[in-house]
Chain A
Amino acid sequence: MTRIVLAIYFAIVTGFLLLPLIFLVPISLTDSQFLEFPPKSLSLRWYREFFTDQSWLDATLVSLKIGIGATILSLLLGTLASIALVRADFRAKGVLTALFIAPLIIPSVVLALALYIIFLRWRLVSNIYALTLAHALIAMPYVVMIVSGSLRRFDMTIERAARILGASPVRAFVHTALPFLTPAMFASSILAFFASFDELIITLFISGGLQTLPVRIWNDLSLKLDPTVPAVAVMLTLVSIVGMSIGEVIRRRNELRYQTHSVPEA
């Protein structure tokens, strides 16, 4: 009985998660001018449309640039922050941890408005570097949460071993903790990238004339809605599935290496 109830519950939850995707794929493959479900005839027309329309490609390029910049920046700063938050012992640690997670919790509109006011004053609106910085701010909580969680589980004696065998603190970290953190850093950089790549609200406030991919989609929605948008959405989904898969492979390989049980004695 319980099994049946659980099975139904499982079907509902996964169905709810997958339903948008199930609709999206056929819609993107339509041959029609309009969004239709189910499509009357199939074609890759709207995928072709995406790759031939310069404004779509420009928007994608802007999003990629900002996404990669924000990922690198948040990964670097977030990892360094994690080291301090996990290893150092200081009074304001709790407050600082909360501060690093805050952009995830504060409503986007509030953050957007605050950034807009500052960017206006400092004349940074529609500056791609400033936008990258703002995206790094949004992406950093993912890095701090995942990397510091992983770092807490790291066995410090391995790093101590490196130290006593002749490595300076930085070299010891690079040779021991960093390889351990690689899967966490990879996973968090995927999250960070997509946090930036599909960010809309804050970008709308401060991007000015810059058009990122979500902004382009948003503008499209208010003007005319053609099936290029679902086609873009499907491609984004595929890209994220590939990214997550690579992350999983790295994680599994690392897990094998850091397992505590050993091979039986010969």
Chain B
Amino acid sequence: MSNRKKVMIDGNEAAAFVAHKTNEVCAIYPITPSSNMGEWADAWSAQNRPNIWGTVPVVSELQSEGGASGAVHGALQTGSLTTTFTASQGLLLMIPNMYKIAGELTSTVFHVSARSVAAQALSIFGDHSDVMAVRQTGFALLSSNSVQEVMDFALIAQAATLRSRVPFVHFFDGFRISHEVMKIEELSDEDMFAMLPDDLIAAHRARALTPEKPVIRGTAQNPDVFFQARETVNPFYDACPDIVQETMDKFAEVVGREYKLFDYVGAPDADRVVIMMGSGAGAAEEAVEYLVAKGEKVGLIKVRLFRPFSIKHFVASLPATVKSIAVLDRTKEPGAAGEPLYQDVHTALAEAMTEGNLPMAAYPKVVGGRYGLSSKEFTPSMVKSVFDNLAADKPKNHFTIGIKEDVTHSSLDYDPHFSMEPDDVFRGMFYGLGADGTVGANKNSIKIIGEGTDFHAQGYFVYDSKKSGSMTTSHLRFGPRPIKSTYLINSAKFVACHQFFFLEKFDMLSHIIEGGTFLLNSPYGADEVWDKIPRMVQQTIIDKKLKFFVIDGYKVAEATGMGARVNTIMQTCFFAISGILPKDEAIASIKDAIKKTYGSKGDRIVQMNFNAVDQTLENLHEVTVPAAATSSIEMPPVVSDKAPEFVREVTSMMIAGHGDDIPTSMLPVDGTFPTATTMWEKRNIALEIPEWDTETCIQCNKCAMVCPHATIRIKVFDEKEVANAPANFKYTDAKGKEYKGLKYSIQVAPEDCTGCALCVEVCPAKNKSEVRLKAINMVPQPPLREQERENWDFFLNIPEFDRTTCRVDTIKGSQLLQPLFEFSGACSGCGETPYVKLTSQLFGDRMIVANATGCSSIYGGNLPTTPWAVNADGQGPTWSNSLFEDNAEFGFGFRLTIDQQNRFARELLMRMAGDIGEDLVRGLLDNDQKTEAGIAEQRTRVTALKEKLGGMSSPEATRLLSVADFLIRRSVWIMGGDGWAYDIGYGGLDHVLASGKNVNVLVMDTEVYSNTGGQMSKATPIGAVAKFAAGGKPIAKKDLGLMAMSYGTVYVAQVAMGANDAQTLKAFIEAEAYDGPSLIIAYSHCIAHGIDMSKGMDQQKALVESGLWPLYRFNPDLAAEGKNPFKLDSKPAKISVKDFITTETRFNMLFKSKPDEANRLMGMAQAHVDNRQKYYQELENLYEAISVPAAPATDETAAE
């Protein structure tokens, strides 16, 4: 046992390790938090790593989880050992196949990192809602509670499914287990061989479909036999629990670790018992150990095999002394008599009692409770509270624990500060920025300690939901015993703050214990730092008698070429101060880890990190802590007092990191939130912001066009508006005859800008005396913050330019329109959001958005604050996200409502014309609303109509009032990424495009699944490296536009803002104007391309110049006029494919890792580009030569 390898890995890797070793086929699809399992399997197969039988498993990505489960089903039916990895909605999409697979008694294991199922909101975090939604499918459900158990149970499940023929879902909690890094023992090939005898595998193969011995499976059955046939599986389910226990016993023989279907821990004579499964059992076990040591008679049953539920084994696990039981479920079933485990426990006890098998004298009190939804913390203190509840005469039933539920008052109270953590466990918390490499360094640190010492080690990492300037918190534990603490650290011995500015934002010392150590990365030395930190921090340091160290990590990073990455420096400090390892040994280990981490990237990178280590210690100093807090620096308020009440009271708590304290009563009941809230979250993440040079500026407005975060704004206005302008407010005479006599200003939102510098990149104007300067130049933000904050506030109050007179079809004019999408959490320099923002400028006041799950739904709709905004009249985009796969249909449903209610309103208008007045009715009915002026007129008339209707009491007036707003033109936008449009949602998208309905589809094509970390989609170009295409994508991307054009009735445009902004603008306007389905495929550069994000627009330009991304528009309206509908807007390639792709890491890395294959694929890419160019040119000629019939009238237009 002891000579098995010890490894520091997370739960996903543990599951994937066994799955890859013991399967032949993996059919996969990315979904958080399970994506990494598929990525591991794919990477290992790409490295030709074999399974235990010596063959390399095939790993294949499908278009959806539905597709993956179909492929799994097919591979199983033909005899392969087959697996998949999924979670949440992904698992739900597999349900139909799961019924089939189970009904056919087919051996397989699905590894599931259990995650919330979207209800009032999406959540990527962990609970059991997904696995509970498949408990009826006939799959066995086996729960792992720790990373070690994930590895063990992955093998036990594989062995048990082959023996029992019952398929298994092997699940473990998303993030808490899937992403927790733990020191575990790795199973050997011998262990796996011992558990998986060849005869079982032969039996699995013997059941496969083969023409040599043909059978038919999957028949349709009639009422005469279906029922009986369904009951044929009973013996297999009856036998399954015993088989699993026997398999566990065999595992104990082979490996040494013992498991039971229901594992009891605690006092043998317990009177109170908690029953639960999943990672929370770790926290519960700690609480039980603590309470038993204090003499309390409590115990815990850890449920391993939830399905098939074995009453026999369950009852046998209960001490006969039990008087009361709390069953904890990590899921919610609204309307049920109780949550699933609770119901099963009751059923089991009742059945045992009925049959005389109840071990205790009387039926115990049984209560159920919910905990831990969406990775809500679950701590020993909460478990203690559950036991306290059980001790009551009448324990609260159907309780919640871990939240304040003050509406139906279900929650139990608990002490959030109560800690049971033993003193010999080191606990450290590290606050860093995503970009500074803190998490990576901490992962290295626990590897050093876990793999280099006898200590047990655990690492868990928390990120915020922003993609730019995000904060990370690392929770590290080291101790002499296996670590069961499956919760965040709340009593740290060591706290490190890797970014100085965090001190004013977060109360990071609230979790440090008395006498703990605080390490601060500070630009100020030990002698001067005290006066530079907030008073509250000073007071805590004094009150808690902390040891306080500073390091100028920024200086060391600068000196050693590390840039923003202070990771190695802070890691060295941690080892130096903590004394976990002797100093020399620690330094040697850090360097060894550096070699392992960076070795493949070259000796220069290794050397740079070595230098950083060497220079760190001389810059690390202990601060002599004064006796009194003297600082005048206070923590600023989280949001402005001008913010709306909801933002002040609820949103602000989430921003400050206190969302856990928000009670139920303060949250909306149905997931509905106000928009326009990002404006209150001043993140101040930009080190530099753009500064406007009025003299050099040519007023082209391109800077505002490309700004991903809408932080650079332009207004043209009358001089009287600036009569009371702040002293430093900049404006100048507006250029252009239509703006004659007016003033012009460009203003930056200093606290919202992310500093991406795209605006500087596109600025075409150069300073005539110093050509390095443009009309927009990046300058340090801190000195400008106060001044520009005042200017920004002033600027916002200048009236917007009149939409009805604005030349919206020019870049300049379009950028005078107010963006109604602002300050999102998208990556700095994001390539998608400029399109989203443009849409909001052009159509925002009348826009309804269906957003596919992905990057755009996260930066568009992830709390605490959301970027969709409103204009001065309170109008703005209204937004919703349904699912990943159904977005086109979801938006189509919007259109159905709009058309239906519009028709009803028009019918009512006509019926009530006499009462309302003929002129108003005619005006409302005849206005085609094709211009901004027309829409403005319609709004005025609808207001007049509502006033009239308000004075009427007839039922028809009431009805018309409820639908009157539908008389104003609505703009339906269906948005999403390529993963949605090309893959999972393609079927629905195709159907909606074929419907003829007036919807606008915006596909932001980043050519990978960006949000889940860059997995291949069918939009991934040939030769690009992506996850699931580690060896380079071998075939060309799908031509989605061409497919849509084939209908002839769909407006199609392919655009790239960085290559041709005017063509982009035209396409958006034409698409929206077209009274039918429109599809815009917008190239979006992305962080997943491995590019300099400040040059994203240059990349777009080069892409188009290489011919890889032709620009075109296909407008059926032109065909109806007898004109050529197809216009190729880009010129033939000016540069080679090679010239472009060698500028992007996604292609380049293949040249570095597999140069021959890279060259082969590049040759194919060039041939593809050449052929497509000819094809499109011929297509343009062809359309010129033929007449294309006009789009058929839709039902609605025909009705009118």
| Interaction A to B | no
